[in-house]
Structure 1
């Protein structure tokens, strides 16, 4: 399979290069497609529960799942249960909870990736931060806790200060703070999206394939960083990240690219 430079335009010609569908489409049997959800596949909304799946996206993902012989997975901070609710009735292979759990095939059982649930008392103290201001939304993901402040942007500093105070009071608590787009997420340390992707890539049908990962947020940078180890390609969305092969402006561009992969794959199959 060609190297990254063969799959995107020359840097001096296209500094914002994105993967070229007609080059990738004939090689879907060699690629593993790994996709973040919020801000990558789906447009960000004021609250996590307001996201919606545009018409045709689930069909596109299912067709790519078939064309890659099952080597397509969603990689998200959301739990597997939450992912399934969003895409229902469709179900996809996925890495959920920032690497805390995964499902290798659409119809297989979830696998817990050595990730213990967060301590209940710690979670209670962190949850109390939501009372700092109206508009702070609390999301309990099981393995992590997220404080969304898109509706209360003025509370950002107070939220992080409160989290820092709790961490100072509990210096040995095995937790990690993940800043994101208008969200402060606290999770158990010891696992990341990158550790989940590494584990996923050791299992069939992903094993031996070249990963193509698309993500948009700070938490996706751990996956960007390991792509060279896996001979993979990474692309960012909405912001210019270091260590990626190219950049999409917004989720609609990602959805269009995925649809074009199928169009070009079909074209190459025709005589």
Structure 2
């Protein structure tokens, strides 16, 4: 459905919920390159307080690898999923992920060679994949997408599209799978799952959350979405989360 008329989620939605949060574009503003983001000093403490208020039913679910997320958010006590559901980590636990396919190594080399002669194209090496960002070169979108499809077909990899980026990764999981996996954990299983995210990659999680009795909240401009609620932007998400923490103090 179109999100043009979706309301913001009520604060009461978080009562008894299991909360799943995307990172880029949801908790931090998007930047021209993945390492150029600015992380608010308040984010780490806010996530810690949220986890306490929700009795541990909080997870970050990102396209970034977990090791990359941990550079920006020191939350060992919070569950995390990285690489669009391929990586899972319980609070205080070890990262569980499938082995990397050998074909990914050759794909990375081809992608780096492509970016080396394409001005404005940024390569992001991930723990379970590799991405090309074309935010600085939007006119290259068609070329980038065509190139990545060709590499994916040759290597037997999956193509994952996002905002001004496209990524190659192993087949096998998405953010919806991450939600379903966490909802089998004792802390989570009796709660109502709420997923907050901004990107196309979050749609699978919106669908999964709705199927389990909850729903999704889209962050950003209206578009076709499976979400039930919408925030105008990152600042609105931060206010919602902060208001919940303060109201339940």
Fold equivalence (TM over 0.5): yes
Query: 8 Å contact 2:57–2:187 — kept in the other structure?
Result: yes
Equivalences for 1:140-151 in 2 at 5 Å?
Answer: 140-151=125-136
**Relative to 1, partners in 2 of residues 1:118 and 1:263: Cα closer, same or farther, differing over 3 Å?**
farther
Aligned counterpart, 1:94: 80
Report how far residue 115 of structure 1 moved: 5.5
Aligned counterpart, 1:209: 191
Q: Using the TM superposition, name which of 234-243 and 116-125 deviates more.
A: 116-125
Query: How many residue pairs are counted as aligned between the two chains?
Result: 243
Aligned counterpart, 2:118: 133
- Partner-residue secondary structure (3-state), 1:110: coil
Is there any run of 5+ residues in structure 1 with no aligned partner, and where?
A: 1-13, 267-271
Pair 1:250-2:228 in alignment: no
Q: Distance in 2 between matches of 1:108 and 1:165?
A: 37
Query: 8 Å contact 2:162–2:200 — kept in the other structure?
Result: yes
> Which of 9, 24, 44 is equivalent to 1:19?
9
Aligned counterpart, 1:261: 244
Aligned counterpart, 1:161: 146
- Partner-residue secondary structure (3-state), 1:64: helix
Pair 1:116-2:100 in alignment: yes
Aligned counterpart, 1:233: 215
> Which of 169, 176, 188 is equivalent to 2:170?
188
Aligned counterpart, 2:39: 53
Query: 8 Å contact 2:196–2:219 — kept in the other structure?
Result: yes
- Partner-residue secondary structure (3-state), 1:255: helix
Q: Using the TM superposition, name which of 40-49 and 53-62 deviates more.
A: 53-62
For normalisation by structure 2, the TM-score amounts to 0.91
Query: 8 Å contact 1:118–1:188 — kept in the other structure?
Result: no
Q: Distance in 2 between matches of 1:245 and 1:137?
A: 33
Aligned counterpart, 2:51: 65
Is there any run of 5+ residues in structure 2 with no aligned partner, and where?
A: none
CA RMSD of aligned residues (A): 1.8
Report how far residue 117 of structure 1 moved: 4.3
Report how far residue 59 of structure 1 moved: 1.2
Query: 8 Å contact 1:31–1:211 — kept in the other structure?
Result: yes
Higher-Rg member (1/2): 1
Q: What whole-Å deviation, never above 9, does each CA across 1:155-184 have from its counterpart, x for those lacking one?
A: 21211121233345x2xx432212211111
Q: Which runs of 4+ in 1 moved over 3 A?
A: 114-118
